[in-house]
Structure 1
Amino acid sequence: MSDETFDLSISRIIDAPVAAVWRAYTEHTEEWFCPKPWRVEIVEWDLRPGGRSALVMHGPDGEVMPMEGVFLEIVPESLIVTTDAFRTGWVPQTAFMTAITEFIPQGDKTAYRATARHWTEEARAQHEAMGFETGWGTVAGQLEEVAKRLAAG
């Protein structure tokens, strides 16, 4: 069994340069992170290895979904890896996934790949049933809209 057995992934070519996609991802997170009409509240977004990633997603019917984790790896304009297996201070918590987001220059466009790596087949199946492909695909489109706006200046 390969390490990728429990992965779910989406890939898109975003019609904006890597610098704009990176800036949209890291500085305008609240504009794209959840499929609308959901919205996200950034509690802390400390983009460095070991930095805290704390967000709260709010649904249109009053749903509240807190998300807490840490950043594992940051390579500017290239890679962001985060996990919910730990909270700040490397304190273990029940893990659902590690998210791996890649930004690859393609001329004046960006190859964007977002992968959710799960610990178990059950977690992967749960995420897929929650609407992974549609949700993360919608989010990639929203990210592209923000990046295009930023690239246009």
Structure 2
Amino acid sequence: MSDYILSVTRLIDAPVDVVWKIATERLTEWWCPKPWTTEIVEMDWRAGGRSAMTMHGPNGEAHPQEGVFLEVTPGTRFVFTDAYAVGWVPQGPFMTGVFEFADEGGKTRYTASARHWSEEAYKQHEAMGFEGGWGAVAEQLAALAEEEAKTS
């Protein structure tokens, strides 16, 4: 399984509570690399809750994402998967997303990982531009959180 994990990490110059708040309450502002946008369908922030959104591209592309949260530990981590739709209805899995937030001397160590069921899914995600895309998303989250930390 460890061979099928892609991840990014970034130290964000803002406290964990600020980064967590931005990550969960302002998802549409950082979730996908600009110029793409995110439309929230439903975010039920609890284990078993629905995680549904659509990512929209600048040329009219639409990529719906339907899944469930497996874990939500406020201020620490959230985990979701697309292996199930709400109500634990199985669907074709691609990945499980793990987003972790850890204090490092008043700053936040943000780590986002995508765990894949197969080498094929892993390679597909890598070829889609995982490193650049998820890195850009980390930068967008950091910019929002660092700005918020300055003003609070």
TM-score, normalized by length of structure 2?
0.97
Aligned partner of 1:72 among 47, 56, 70: 70
State the distance in 2 between where 1:109 and 1:45 align.
26
Runs of 4+ in structure 1 off by over 3 angstroms are none
Deviation for aligned residue 1:148 = 1.3
Question: Which among 35, 47, 50 is matched to residue 49 of structure 1?
Answer: 47
Instruction: Give the corresponding residue for 1:58.
Output: 56
Separation in structure 2 between the aligned mates of residue 125 and residue 20 of structure 1, nearest angstrom:
34
Please point out which of 121, 124, 133 is paired with 1:123.
121
TM (norm. structure 1) is 0.97
Aligned partner letter, 2:140:
Q
- Aligned length, in residue pairs: 151
Structure 2: unaligned runs, 5 residues or longer: none
CA RMSD, aligned part only? 0.7
CA-to-aligned-CA distance 1:72-101 (integer Å, 9 cap, x gap): 001111011000000100000000000011
Partner of 1:91: 89
Q: What percentage of residue pairs aligned between the two structures are identical?
A: 58
Alignment deviations for residues 112-140 of structure 1 (CA, whole Å, 9 cap, x no partner): 11000000001000000000000000000
- Structure 2 match to 1:137: 135
Q: Deviations over 1:32-59 (max 9, x none)?
A: 0010000000010110000000000000
**Which ranges of structure 1 fall in alignment gaps of 5 or more residues?**
none
Task: Measure, in 1, the Cα distance between the counterparts of 2:19 and 2:2.
Answer: 26
